[in-house]
């Protein structure tokens, strides 16, 4: 499988000593951090611009463009790495933190030089105790070597990296909630604009980037932005870590070209569906993203393709009425967090849909009424349908609640609950209706 041979981040996953600085450095590690310390910030930014690197945290936003929003005259700029990974179905950042922590640290040094950052933070999910220990050990090693702290690598650059642990709240993965939490408060999202790049942590310009996004930077400096862009396709550079779970023979984390389709991912990478059964649905980028039906799997799992390819049906509010994403745009799906959930033909889609909206109801921070109340109702109605208590009209009710949440909230958690709901209803409506029709009937009755 030559196609899948190039690796940027995952080459040493599974090698125990890869966590250590000695091994990492022997493989060429920290060379590019050292190089960055002698470079002009603009030339690093130019390489990132040329690389077509896009954010791996969920939105796929071009990294260089995000960086360019930092006001040029800012006196203090913060870098915050989002290691809160908690989008159900996603478990790739945890692998980077555990197997390759030094690559993240090196990437942070590079980004900090480019952004003129003196203090950087890593916000790591509280439940990841093991990863926290490995990461902190790596940072301690880097300090001991003089790669972090005052005048790193003997250059004029100084940088401190502080690991900050979350305490269990999905919403803290949302960048503004993360900043509220890192300031020591409740993890409440803030209205955007202003965007964090302009007004973030303690009111200062702050770049929030995902773990995987930052871990790509050493490779980009080593090989040049253009080489990274060439590995990718269209407007998306590089490779991508994809985590696959559910009914496949070989679930796990894979680093793959962006041209790989859903079908290739299941059949060629993950060894097919368990027990030789058939696929029924695939969520391409964490549970916030609309599900794909079996006939939509020949599209590459790439940011733009998943949004625009016409082989993917547009999500509807009710049959015939397309969901309006705003600005005359319709919704197909998105690459999101790279968390792929594969469901085989034995899956009860209504129960899967219930579990997803139940999650959002649990995790809503409660600030906005449409989200706080709406996600609770979604969970209740979805539960009724999934567990055979559905009432006439419940399927339409579910859709109208979802439509009422979408676009009407402070942060994207509201959309994240609404979109998958509407997508399940668009693509598996018959199943929901059949559940309601057969509700309350004794087992075995016709």
Cα dihedral: 430, 425, 351, 127 (round 10) = 160
Total residues interacting with another protein, rule: CB under 8 A:
70
Quick one: which of 143, 153, 195, 387 contacts another protein (CB under 8 A)? Answer: 387
Minimum CB separation from another protein for residue 389, in Å? 10
Minimum CB separation from another protein for residue 216, in Å? 20
Quick one: which of 60, 246, 300, 374 contacts another protein (CB under 8 A)? Answer: 246
Quick one: which of 37, 77, 169, 411 contacts ligand SF4 (CB under 6 A)? Answer: 411
Quick one: which of 372, 373, 397, 429 contacts ligand SF4 (CB under 6 A)? Answer: 372
58 or 225: CB nearest ligand FMN: 58
Task: State the Rg of the chain over Cα.
Answer: 22
Sign of torsion over alpha carbons 286, 292, 215, 43 = negative
Q: Tell me the per-residue interface mask from 118 to 157 with another protein, x by CB under 8 A, - otherwise.
A: -x-----xxxxxx-xx------------------------
Does residue number 86 form part of the binding site for ligand FMN (CB under 6 A)? yes
299 or 335: CB nearest ligand FMN: 335
Cβ partners under 8 Å of residue 395, min gap 6: 385, 425, 429, 432, 433, 436
Does residue number 428 form part of the binding site for another protein (CB under 8 A)? no
Minimum CB separation from ligand SF4 for residue 175, in Å? 12
Estimate the share of the chain in helix, then strand, then coil, as percent rounded to the nearest 5: 45, 15, 40
Tell me, what DSSP letter sits at residue 1? -
Quick one: which of 30, 67, 91, 323 contacts another protein (CB under 8 A)? Answer: 91
SS3 state at 13: coil
C-alpha atoms less than 13 angstroms from C-alpha of 444 in its C-beta half-sphere:
0
Minimum CB separation from another protein for residue 133, in Å? 6
Among residue numbers 396 through 415, which ones bind ligand FMN (CB under 6 A)? 411-413
Cβ partners under 8 Å of residue 79, min gap 6: 108, 111, 112, 115, 117, 120, 121, 206, 207, 209
Q: For residue 59, give Cα distances in angstroms to 133, 135, 313.
A: 29, 25, 20
Q: Are 165 and 132 in contact (CB under 8 A)?
A: yes
Q: Are 188 and 196 in contact (CB under 8 A)?
A: no
Contact of residue 416 among another protein, ligand SF4, ligand FMN, none (CB under 5-8 Å per partner type)? ligand FMN
Q: Which of 243, 277, 248 is nearest to 342 (CA)?
A: 248
C-alpha angle 81-84-89 in degrees, rounded to nearest 5: 125
Tell me, what DSSP letter sits at residue 161? E
Does residue number 345 form part of the binding site for another protein (CB under 8 A)? no
Contact residues: ligand FMN, CB under 6 A: 55-59, 61, 66, 82, 84-87, 171, 173-175, 208-210, 213, 411-413, 416
Contact residues: another protein, CB under 8 A: 76, 85-91, 93-94, 119, 125-130, 132-133, 160, 162, 164-170, 181-187, 202, 243-247, 251-253, 283, 287, 339, 341, 343, 347-348, 351-352, 354-356, 358-359, 361-363, 366, 372-373, 376, 379-380, 383, 386-387
């Amino acid at each position: 499988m030559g196609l899948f041979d190039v690796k940027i981040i995952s080459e040493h996953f599974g090698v125990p000593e890869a966590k250590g600085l000695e091994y990492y450095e022997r493989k060429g590690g920290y060379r590019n951090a050292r190089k960055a310390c002698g470079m002009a910030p603009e030339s690093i930014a130019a390489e990132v611009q040329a690389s077509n690197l896009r954010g791996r945290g969920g939105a796929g936003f071009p990294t260089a463009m995000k960086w360019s929003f930092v006001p040029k005259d800012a006196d203090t700029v913060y870098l915050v790495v989002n290691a809160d990974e908690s989008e159900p179905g996603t478990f790739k950042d945890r692998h980077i933190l555990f197997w390759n922590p030094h690559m993240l640290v090196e990437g942070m040094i590079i980004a900090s030089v480019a952004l003129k950052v003196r203090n950087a933070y890593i916000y790591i999910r509280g439940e990841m105790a093991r990863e926290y220990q490995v990461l902190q050990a790596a940072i301690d090693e880097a300090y001991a070597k003089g790669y972090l702290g005052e005048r790193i690598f003997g250059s004029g650059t100084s940088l401190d990296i502080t690991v900050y642990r979350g305490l269990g709240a999905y919403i803290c993965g949302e960048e503004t909630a993360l900043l509220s939490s890192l300031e020591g408060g409740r993890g409440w999202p803030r209205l955007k604009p202003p965007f964090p790049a302009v007004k973030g942590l303690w009111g200062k310009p702050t770049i929030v980037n995902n773990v995987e996004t930052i871990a790509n930077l050493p490779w980009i400096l080593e090989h040049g932005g253009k080489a990274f862009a060439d590995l990718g396709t269209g407007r998306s550079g590089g490779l991508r870590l994809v985590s696959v779970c559910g009914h496949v023979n070989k679930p796990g984390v894979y680093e793959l070209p962006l041209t790989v389709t859903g079908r290739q991912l299941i059949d060629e990478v993950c060894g097919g569906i368990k027990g030789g059964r058939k696929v029924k649905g695939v969520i391409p980028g964490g549970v916030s993203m609309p599900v794909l039906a079996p006939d939509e799997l020949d599209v590459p799992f790439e940011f733009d393709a998943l949004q625009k390819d016409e082989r993917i049906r547009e999500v509807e509010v009710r049959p015939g009425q397309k969901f309006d994403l705003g600005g005359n745009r319709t919704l197909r799906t998105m690459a999101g967090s790279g968390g792929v959930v594969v469901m085989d033909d034995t899956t009860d889609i209504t129960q899967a849909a219930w579990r997803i909206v139940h999650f959002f109801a649990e995790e809503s921070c409660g600030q906005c009424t449409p989200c706080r109340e709406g996600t609770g109702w979604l969970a209740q109605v979805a539960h009724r349908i999934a567990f055979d208590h559905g009432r006439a009209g419940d399927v339409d009710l579910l859709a109208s609640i979802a439509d009422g949440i979408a676009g009407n909230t402070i942060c994207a958690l509201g959309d994240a609950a609404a979109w998958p709901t509407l997508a399940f209803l668009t693509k598996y409506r018959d199943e929901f209706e059949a559940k309601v029709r057969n509700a309350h009937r004794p087992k075995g009755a016709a």
